[in-house]
Amino acid sequence: MKFVKGLLVAGIAAAVLSGCGGNNEEAATSTASPATSQTSAPEKPDAEAAASIVNVADAFQKAVSPEGTWIIAILNDLTIDQEVIVDGVFHDKGAQDGDIYRKIALYAQDADHKITANYTLTAPKVTVKSENLRVQGGTIKGDVYVEANGFNLHETATVDGNLYFASDAVKATAKIDGKVTGKTEVQ
C-alpha cells in the first residue's frame, strides 16, 4: 500500500511540475544544482533551479526564503501559524539568463495542464518581497502584503483576506486577475 501511495504522490508531483513553466513545454523537474551568479552585482543568485514540492510548514517556509526555489508547489491544504515571507531573487526555471520570476502553485493538474485540485495555504500574513511572484490556483487564506513589483494573482487564484501594496508604484505593476475577498489597497 505504501508503494502505491508513493507512486500516486510521484505522479501528482510530475503532473503539477510539468505545467509550471507557463507556455514553455519544458518540464520543471530537472535535477537541481545551485546556480552561481554570472556578474559581480550584489543580487543574490538563485538557490535552486528545480521546483520545491512541500507538504509541511517548515519546508514551505524554507522554499519561499532567499535560499529556496523559483517555484513552490503544495499538494494538499497547508496551515502555517506564523508570517510567511516570500523573499529572494529567482529566475524562470532557475536559468540565470531567464526573466526574474517566482511562482507559488496551489494546485494539482493533469497531463493536459488542466487544474484537477485546488489547495489552500492558510497563514496570518503573507509578505511578498520577491519580484514578479505569481500565485496560481488555490487560495491564500490570510492577508497578503506586497512590497515587490510585478505581483500576479492568476485568474485561478484567490486571496481570502485583504491585499495590501506598499505603494501606488508597486500596485501599478501588479496584475490581479484572481479574486480578493477583502480590501485591495495601498497601506
Q: Identify whether 32 is part of a domain.
A: no
- Whose cell is 491564500? That residue is 140
pLDDT tens per residue across span 174-183: 999 999 999 9
- Rounded Cα–Cα distance for residues 47 and 45 (Å): 6
The structural domain count of the chain equals: 1
Instruction: Write down the pLDDT at residue 51.
Output: 63
Instruction: Write down the pLDDT at residue 85.
Output: 98
- Whose cell is 487560495? That residue is 139
Q: Identify whether 37 is part of a domain.
A: no
Instruction: Write down the pLDDT at residue 157.
Output: 98
Instruction: Write down the pLDDT at residue 172.
Output: 98
Spans of the chain below 70 pLDDT: 1-51
Q: Identify whether 173 is part of a domain.
A: yes
- How many C-beta atoms surround the C-beta of residue 179 within 10 A? 13
Residue 82 belongs to domain spanning:
2-21+47-186
User: CA 128: distance to chain centroid?
Assistant: 10
Instruction: Write down the pLDDT at residue 111.
Output: 95
- Rounded Cα–Cα distance for residues 89 and 81 (Å): 25
Q: Identify whether 167 is part of a domain.
A: yes
Which helix or strand (DSSP H or E) is residue 27 part of?
none
Instruction: Write down the pLDDT at residue 47.
Output: 41
Instruction: Write down the pLDDT at residue 24.
Output: 35
Helix (H, G, I), strand (E, B) or coil at 133: strand
Instruction: Write down the pLDDT at residue 27.
Output: 32
